[in-house]
Amino acid sequence: GSKKAPTGKFPVIFEPRVAKSILNHIISALNGTSIINGTSFLKGKLNEPIFNKKINVIDDPHLSKGLGSKLFDAEGLGTKKIEVVSNGILKNYFLNLSSARQLGLNTNCNATRSLTSPPSIGISNAMIMPGSIDEKDMIKNIPDGFYITELLGSSVSLITGDYSRGASGFWIKNGNLTHPISEATIAGNLKEMFLQMVPASNLEFNSLVSSPSIFIKEMTIAGGSNT
């Protein structure tokens, strides 16, 4: 019984499982190797307000029962909790010794490795911290919007920030979830998305990358319907 989404600019909510993909893009864009190679649009953005003030991102290797918790990184350095984004301001890249040296910074002890590889850069327990708004209240405040439960395919450029993905979920009408939506495309730019992001309060720690639901004020939706 699914329908096509209307075409236009609408608010969207990413439910927690798909909101993790946004955090994955943040992690990739902040990888020290990408910064060094100039393949990230966040190069040179340290200490700048890149995100909405309500966005806080941390990487916590000491999280109790965290799947990525560890006392030492792959280079034998003691790990520490890192504030990646604080009140919307970019505070840290993800670095190991090599990338930190090339950037003239101190390592954040994010080195990882397999049995046969040299140290690379990874995470421990990365998360977007929860906000104060309940997801149900987010939905209630939307007259027309898209609640996204699945993302398909990927056309995301970390060089320019251009973002386009197939999506499905439910249409929000007058503050309620209504009919299912399939075969929709959502598009925007990560730079603008970061500035509009608002986190809900429903964070659960169930993987190395965790996120609450994320509200974005406006994205372009193409679904084939004009009503």
- What pLDDT does residue 226 have? 46
Question: What is the pLDDT tens value at each position of the chain, 227 positions in all?
Answer: 788 999 999 999 999 999 999 999 999 999 999 999 999 999 999 999 999 999 999 999 999 989 999 999 999 999 999 999 999 999 999 999 999 999 999 999 999 988 888 889 999 999 999 999 999 999 999 999 999 999 998 789 999 999 999 999 999 999 999 999 998 999 999 999 999 999 999 998 889 999 999 999 999 999 865 44
Burial (CB count <10 Å: 0-12, 13-18, 19+), residue 191: middle
- What pLDDT does residue 153 have? 83
Among 47, 130, 60, 136, CA closest to 86: 47
Q: What is the pTM of this model?
A: 0.92
Among 74, 77, 93, CA closest to 85: 93
Question: Looking at this protein, which amino acid is placed at residue 65?
Answer: K
Question: Looking at this protein, which amino acid is placed at residue 67?
Answer: L
**Cross-strand bridge partners of residue 126:** 59, 209
Alpha carbon distances (Å) from 43 to 50, 74, 158: 11, 25, 10
CA 120 remoteness from chain centre: 21
Alpha carbon distances (Å) from 223 to 8, 138, 218: 9, 23, 15
Q: Look up tokens 């399939």; give the residue.
A: 182
b/e map 22-42, b = 16+ CB within 10 Å: bbbbbbbbbbbbbbbeeebbb
Question: Contact, 105 vs 95, CB < 8 A?
Answer: yes
CA 13 remoteness from chain centre: 13
Which tokens belong to 22?
């946004």
